[in-house]
């Protein structure tokens, strides 16, 4: 429980308790000053041994009138119920009138100045009852407010005490706050164009309402992690100057029944109170996963999803609330969530192209001092990296330069940062024997040799320094972004992967365990060619579903083995034809440990394929 909750909770009850104590302490003095000396207590006086004056009882109104006319009454004290009057005569005798007096008689007594204000006993019973009522009412109000906060705020822990005020609320970023704009998002031009329609609805909804157009209810952004889905949602809110409510799909999942649905209702209520607003649900597949068809369909997750569906259907045409969901598993979302009328727009966010990578690199290096760095070359060597990876690359280069005491970031810092991101951290404590070092050098040299001979990709870097789980690595980059691969492209990838094992067998005379990962990747490519792409001699039918069965058909095994074996024979042929070049490359690699693409090209420039 946060510290603010404890202070507020104890403060409320502390003041309630102090107020009751003060009231009970001040009541007796007030009563004593109020009652004065007009009350009489004959029984107590007699019990104390005091001399009690004689008592005269006036039993009817005639006697009362006679006493009044004869001036035999000094003062009277009338009780609140007017059923008893006590007073005294001039000689000190007490007078008691057990009569029910009417208003006329009381006015007559006042005219003769023999009637004083009534003496009243202090109502202790009523005071205590009132204090209990106040305490109970305050407790009910505190309990109601705490439960209300708990229903509206998705972050409040389920099962927490109801007698508390929670300071957690939906993370709301108001207009003109820390939101960004589209100008601060590099690349993703197609996604920005798709979101322009939502932006127009949020900024000028009346323009569309006049034509009978309805505002889109929701947008799904799907793609690999780190491609900028959250960044786009924040930029849209910044462009529209809208309130931004970012939440995670896991925030609505609790084991307590009804908690997730309650949090969904509270989120949408808050968004409707501050239009225009954008609700961003990151990892929406956590709450929007497909509902099961068996008896478990009444689980809490399904109730939460049902509430989300109801809330999105509950928008009216004039509501300026848009829901944006982000996921990298679009296939896992429920169909009812993806239908038109709920999430109307599905926008794919893919890894950036070379042009977009260049824009991202320029964005993340604009506040970093560079020296001799060609960002176009860096963008060309980083295919497949997302925007988050490129931001991390620039940051790692700055850290490496600062750690080395430099004031500028040079190309070697970017290369070291790229090695760390792609291959892992360098393991300097891992000492290799000369035989192991020689085997790794020929293995990595074999990869570089075969790749250079085929020419389908460029070898940018080769290293035999242990990094991460790898004892060495070869960095290969395509000459341009590729979106479609032919059968020959896939065969060349398998040849490059098998070049290391072919080099070990050709030069060293035996193979090692270093080719384990290469064989796994080569087999995976060949399996996809056979079962999914119709490139393996089994016809055009897609039989990828057979891979999940208990026994994979023998024909699939034979087709995959045929492709891999044929590629390995070709790799052996290429390595043996250029063994002298391989030896020169491996020996140079053993001395320098790391070679750049230019140095590799100089060593292998005379090779023939």
Q: Which residues are known to be catalytic?
A: 444
Cβ neighbours around 72 below 10 Å, total? 17
Contact (Cβ atoms closer than 8 angstroms) between residue 39 and residue 91: no
* Spatial distance between the Cα atoms of 378 and 71, rounded to a whole number of angstroms: 120
Cβ neighbours around 123 below 10 Å, total? 12
* Spatial distance between the Cα atoms of 434 and 424, rounded to a whole number of angstroms: 23
* Spatial distance between the Cα atoms of 590 and 435, rounded to a whole number of angstroms: 11
Which alpha helices (H) appear in 36-154, and where do they start and end?
42-47, 61-69, 103-111, 124-152
Residue 48 DSSP symbol: T
Exposed / middle / buried, residue 377 (Cβ in 10 Å: 0-12, 13-18, 19+): middle
Q: Which residues contact 486 (CB under 8 A, 6 or more apart)?
A: none
- Using CA of residue 393, residue 399, residue 401, residue 404, what is the dihedral sign? negative
| Distance between first and last Cα of the chain | 70
- How would you classify residue 439: left for phi > 0, otherwise alpha for psi between -120 and 50, otherwise beta? alpha
Which alpha helices (H) appear in 354-506, and where do they start and end?
354-365, 375-380, 387-403, 411-423, 434-454, 487-503
Per-residue DSSP letters for 391-435? Answer: HHHHHHHHHHHHHTT-SSB-HHHHHHHHHHHHH--B-TT-PPPHH
Nearest to 492 by CA among 461, 530, 460, 454: 454
Contact (Cβ atoms closer than 8 angstroms) between residue 306 and residue 262: no
Cβ neighbours around 40 below 10 Å, total? 15
* Spatial distance between the Cα atoms of 71 and 74, rounded to a whole number of angstroms: 8
List 219's β-bridge partners, or say none: 324, 345
Per-residue DSSP letters for 239-271? Answer: HHT-EEEEEEGGGG--SSTTHHHHHHHHHHHHH
* Spatial distance between the Cα atoms of 475 and 149, rounded to a whole number of angstroms: 55
Phi then psi for residue 474, to 5 deg, are -125, 125
Q: Which residues contact 77 (CB under 8 A, 6 or more apart)?
A: 38, 39, 40, 85, 86, 87, 116, 118, 119
Contact (Cβ atoms closer than 8 angstroms) between residue 79 and residue 39: no
Cβ neighbours around 530 below 10 Å, total? 26
């Amino acid at each position: 429980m946060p510290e603010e909750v404890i202070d507020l909770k104890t403060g409320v009850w502390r003041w309630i308790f102090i107020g009751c104590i003060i009231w009970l302490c001040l009541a007796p003095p007030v009563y004593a000053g109020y009652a004065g000396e007009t009350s009489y207590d004959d029984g107590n006086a007699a019990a104390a041994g005091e001399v009690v004056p004689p008592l005269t009882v006036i039993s009817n109104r005639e006697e009362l009138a006679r006493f009044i006319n004869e001036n035999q009454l000094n003062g009277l004290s009338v009780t609140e119920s007017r059923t008893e009057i006590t007073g005294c005569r001039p000689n000190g005798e007490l007078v008691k009138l057990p009569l029910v007096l009417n208003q006329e008689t009381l006015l007559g007594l006042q005219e003769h100045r023999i009637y004083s204000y009534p003496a009243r006993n202090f109502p202790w019973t009523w005071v205590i009852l009132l204090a209990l009522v106040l305490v109970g009412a305050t407790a009910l109000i505190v309990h109601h407010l705490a439960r209300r906060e708990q229903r509206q705020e998705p972050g409040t822990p389920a099962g927490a005490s109801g007698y508390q005020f929670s300071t957690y609320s939906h993370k709301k970023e108001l207009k003109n706050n820390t939101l960004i704009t589209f100008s601060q998002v590099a690349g993703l031009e197609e996604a920005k164009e798709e979101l322009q329609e939502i932006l127009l609805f949020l900024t000028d909804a009346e323009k569309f309402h006049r034509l009978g157009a309805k505002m889109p209810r929701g947008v799904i952004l799907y793609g690999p992690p780190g491609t900028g889905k959250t960044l786009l949602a924040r930029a849209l809110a910044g462009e529209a100057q809208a309130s931004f409510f970012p939440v995670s799909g896991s925030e609505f999942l609790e084991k307590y029944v009804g908690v997730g649905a309650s949090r969904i209702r509270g989120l949408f209520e808050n968004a409707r109170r501050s239009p225009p607003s954008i609700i961003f649900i990151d990892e929406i597949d956590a709450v929007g996963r497909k509902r099961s068809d068996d008896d478990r369909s009444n689980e809490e997750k399904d109730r939460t999803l049902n509430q989300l569906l109801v809330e999105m259907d509950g928008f009216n045409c004039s509501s300026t609330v848009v829901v944006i969901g982000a996921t990298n598993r679009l296939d896992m979302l429920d169909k009812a969530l993806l239908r038109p009328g709920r999430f109307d727009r599905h926008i794919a966010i893919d890894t950036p192209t070379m042009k977009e990578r260049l824009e991202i690199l320029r964005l993340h290096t604009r506040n970093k001092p560079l020296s001799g760095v060609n960002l176009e070359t860096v963008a060309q060597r980083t295919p497949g990296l997302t925007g988050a990876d490129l931001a991390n690359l620039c940051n790692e280069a700055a850290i490496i330069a600062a750690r080395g005491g430099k004031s500028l970031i040079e190309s070697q810092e970017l290369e070291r940062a790229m090695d760390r991101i792609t291959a892992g951290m360098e393991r300097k404590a891992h000492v290799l024997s000369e035989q192991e070092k020689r085997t790794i050098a020929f293995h990595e040299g074999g990869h570089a040799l075969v790749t250079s001979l085929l020419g389908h990709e460029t070898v940018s870097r080769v290293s035999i320094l242990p990094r991460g789980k790898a004892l060495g690595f070869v960095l290969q980059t395509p000459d341009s972004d590729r979106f479609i691969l032919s059968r020959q492209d896939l065969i060349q990838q398998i040849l490059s992967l098998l070049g290391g094992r072919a080099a070990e067998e050709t030069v060293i005379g035996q193979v090692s365990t270093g080719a384990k990962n290469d064989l796994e990747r080569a087999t995976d490519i060949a399996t996809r060619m056979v079962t999914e792409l119709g490139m393996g001699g089994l016809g055009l039918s897609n039989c990828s579903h057979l891979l999940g069965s208990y026994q994979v058909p023998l024909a699939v095994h034979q087709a995959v083995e045929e492709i891999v074996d044929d590629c390995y024979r070709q790799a052996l042929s290429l390595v043996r034809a250029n063994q002298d070049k391989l030896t020169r490359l491996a020996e140079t690699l053993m001395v320098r440990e790391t070679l750049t693409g230019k140095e590799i090209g100089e060593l292998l420039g005379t090779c023939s394929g």
